[in-house]
Structure 1
Amino acid sequence: MTHTDPAPLPAGIPASPPPLVVAGHGTRVNAGASAASVLVDKVRALLPDVRVEAGFVELTPPTIDEALDLVLEDAPAAVVVPLMIGVGGHVRDDIPEAIDASKARHLDATVVYTRHLGSPKPMLDAVHARIASARGDWPAEETDVVMVGRGCTVTDANADHVRLSRVVFETGGYHQVLSAFIQVARPTLPQILHQYYASGSRRIVVMPHFLFTGRLDEWVHQQVDAFRTTHPDAAIRIANVIGPCDELAQVVAQRYKEGALRARTTAGSPAYLTGLLLSGRKVVVVGGGCVARRRVPKLLEAGARVEVVAPELHTSLAALAEAGAFTWHARGYDPSDLDGAWYVLALTDSPDANAAVVADAEARHTFCVRADSADDGSAWTPATGDASGVTVAAITTHDPLRARRIRNRFVELVNEEGL
């Protein structure tokens, strides 16, 4: 072997990014099926090096296990992203059953099943955009909104929808935002419309919180039309469903990236463990709250030249800053803060601010920990412990409590053996 020959990959590590199977619900409505196809194309554009296929729980071919069979013919691992907003029966039962069916035919394959879409900022942005388009010239503060969810027998899924309505209310400036369900759960859409009307509301936007048009969307329109006939003085506008927008594609791509990390190996964490010698080197911490309170002292113990960027500091950090232990920039973050940094930690309460720090660090080829979304950073912080001159570390995949338990056991073993 010459120095130009690539080193062989260890067994179990795929040579290329694992393929993605987007697991959707399926629909009898052609427009909904077409929208799903458009979304898959958008995801392909965001992941140009990844094979992206779609499978469906029902109604639309191919099934999820058929789509998995297709990609696993040519790949040792795959990632399945549920194209579902909440944690209903499809996410908990149907999709895992389809995955198991395919894995029974591909015994050596690794299939990583990611979390559902949920309501990250891009999805919230899409919801606000649909509501804004529907309300038109109505001021937000004079508009009542009904967030219509699917409704199911899984309490957690219904509770997530109610929680989302509260988030939409607090981030949108609307007069009111209430939750309704189109099937199974209560309150129903007509019940909420009657409640709004009885309270004097006459400007109502109904937001069908569904990914694509289909039977659920049709039922929303039918129920609103029926209410209009008996309440002609109420102005009710129906927003569009989320649809195959860029924001939705971004969330699917992000879920894939989370899963691809775990698909790269079947043993241990996907992180490459190393020890950073930070003595005398600039380390930037953006954020001065509780997480920074834990991380900054450790960095100082390592001899790092720490600079903290935050309008305010946790009490314990303020005392360290007054003692001159680190440099405090009492303001918001600026990209120039990262100039000359060897290591960066994005620890603010703002997902947008943390994302900006990560992007700026990435552009500088500087490793960055992101506290609120570890997979979006380029480094992870292990659970560490010191004993008898030894530092032990444990790092897992999305399970910090387990990492801490393992860390504690390591420390116990070192102390017991006097190693």
Structure 2
Amino acid sequence: MRDRLPDAPVSVGFVELAEPSITEALAEAMGEHGPRAVVVPLMLGTGGHVRSDIPGFIDAARSAVPGAHVDYAAHLGPHPRLLDAVEARLHAALGGWAEPETTVVFVGRGALVPEANADHVHLARLLLERGEWADVEPAFIQVTRPSLPTALDRAYAAGARRIVVMGHWLFPGMLSTWTWKQADGWAAAHADAEVRVADVIGPCAELADVVVERYLEVLPEAPPHGSPTYLAGLWLRNRDVLVLGGGRVAERRVPRLLEAGARLRLVSPTLTPALRALAEEGRFEWIPRAFLDSDLGDAWYVLAATNDPTANRAASDIAESHHRFCVRADDARAGTAWTPATADAHGLTVAVIGNRDPRLSRAVRDAVVGLLGS
């Protein structure tokens, strides 16, 4: 994070078991660098620590530092970048196994907050939908059920004999130790099944990216140097443009691309009614299936706007390898171009692009258009 935020001091605090506490870390940081801070909870789920403990520590720090202003960012949640990291750990544990012959037992912390446990089950389903696993069984290491041994029993009863267990933790510790012990104990009692344990997410680039994103989301103003992008107008008339996805994002962007005169190909199994009407009018070529690498063709510009982060990432990667610019609707920083907030007024196109604050960009755009009108 310090590499990604060279102008922002970065400190660490702990909820429990280690020092310094969040209150101590906050008070020290604000005493040294000024009375403004952002707290990003390094928590995957929205349990009691996120909902009550950390806010309590923040309140204590506010009381200790005169004039303190502390913004509390969102927890990490089911971010596509973190799911990428989870899948990378699972694939590393596979060895020579293939996904379709492997069942994943995905272990969460377990919480007294039902919504946090439901979020973990939701993540397990996302892993199943994103991959080709034989099955993905959710489990919990503490507090709630099913336990890890119970989930292993369920997988075994369903016919699983090759199982990868992964504890959904950011870092190794007691939770990871318990996961290994329980998995090893179960495997010793089931000689006809093979069990491997995947590594935790760990201090990787994907995690740092998500933490930085959460930090930037709560900043009240743009950085002093504005957007990190280089602004340019693209002349797309009679040039090939590829759009992936037929949902609401594509519905907003396609008309502007058509107005720019692009030769547009859209790849998506389905279309919104508005996009379907344009396709039936022959305004663009519709390819009704999922994305293939060969779809890139001669496209000068790519918009990856599917509801599948894996497909968006694949499109962005192949566009990068062919030196084509690609906008990723699900994760702007993972693409190579950003879409500005635009409006036409008095023969001009007003375009505003910031640093991941779309509300501010739209507000500035509307203010400029209003100024032109007056």
For the criterion TM > 0.5, the same-fold answer is yes
Q: Structure 2 matches for 1:354-393, cutoff 5 A?
A: 370-373=328-331
Identity of aligned residues (%): 42
Counterpart for residue 55 of structure 1: 13
Distance in 2 between the 1:262 and 1:83 partners? 15
CA RMSD of aligned residues (A): 4.9
Partner of 1:40: none
Secondary structure of residue in 2 paired with 1:137: coil
Q: Deviations over 1:66-102 (max 9, x none)?
A: 2222322314543322211111111222222222322
Q: Aligned partners of 1:239, 1:64: CA distance in 2, in Å? A: 32
Q: Provide the secondary structure at the position in 1 that maps to 2:44.
A: coil
Whole-angstrom distance in 1 between the partners of 2:7 and 2:358: 31
Partner Cα distance (2:121, 2:279) in 1: 42
Q: Counterpart of 1:347 in structure 2: which amino acid?
A: A
Is residue 105 of structure 2 the alignment partner of residue 149 of structure 1? Answer: no
The question of 1:287 aligning with 2:240 is answered no
Query: Is residue 307–residue 329 contact of structure 1 (8 Å, CA) maintained in 2?
Result: no
Secondary structure of 1:104's counterpart equals helix
> CA, structure 1 residues 335+146, in 2 after alignment: closer, same or farther (shift >3 Å)?
same
User: Equivalent residues in 2 for 1:11-410 (5 A)?
Assistant: 43-72=1-30, 73-75=32-34, 77-106=36-65, 108-229=67-188, 231-246=189-204, 249-260=205-216, 262-265=218-221, 286-287=243-244, 289-290=246-247, 291-297=249-255, 304-311=260-267, 314=271, 316-317=274-275, 320=278, 334=296, 337-338=299-300, 346-351=304-309, 370-373=328-331
State the alpha-carbon separation in 1 of the partners of residues 313 and 217 from structure 2. Answer: 19
**Number of positions where the alignment pairs a residue of Structure 1 with one of Structure 2:** 353
Relative to structure 1, the CA distance from residue 105 to residue 284 in structure 2 (aligned partners, 3 Å threshold; closer, same or farther) is: farther
Q: Secondary structure at the match of 1:286?
A: strand
1:143, 1:382 → 2: CA distance?
45
For 1:31, the equivalent position in structure 2 comes to none
**Native 8 Å contact 1:286 1:333 kept in 2:** no
C-alpha deviation, 1:347, in angstroms: 3.1
More displaced 10-residue stretch of structure 1: 81-90 or 196-205: 196-205
Which whole-Å deviations, capped at 9, do the CAs of 1:46-65 have from their partners, x for residues lacking one? 44444222111111111122
| CA deviation string 1:373-400 (max 9, x = no partner) | 46767756669899xxxx9x99999999
- Separation of aligned partners in 2, 1:174 and 1:355: 20
**Equivalent position SS for 1:237:** strand
Q: Which amino acid aligns with 2:98?
A: P
Structure 1 contact 82–91 (Cα < 8 Å) conserved: yes
Amino acid at match of 1:153: L
Partner residue of 1:35? none
User: TM-score, normalised on structure 1?
Assistant: 0.64
Is contact 1:288-1:308 (8 Å) kept? no
Deviation readout 1:323-369 (Å, 9 max, x if unpaired): 6767989996649744xx8xx865344536656888989xx9x9x86
Distance 1:180 1:288 in 2: 33
Q: Offset of 1:245 from its aligned partner?
A: 4.2
Give the secondary-structure state (helix, strand or coil) at the position aligned to 1:148: strand
Matched residue SS, 2:11: strand
Bigger Rg, structure 1 or 2:
1
- Give the drift of 1:183: 0.9
Whether the aligned pair in 2 keeps the contact of 1:140 and 1:172 (CA below 8 Å) is: yes
TM-fit CA distance, 1:152: 0.6
**Structure 2: 5+ residue stretches without partners:** none
Amino acid at match of 2:48: G
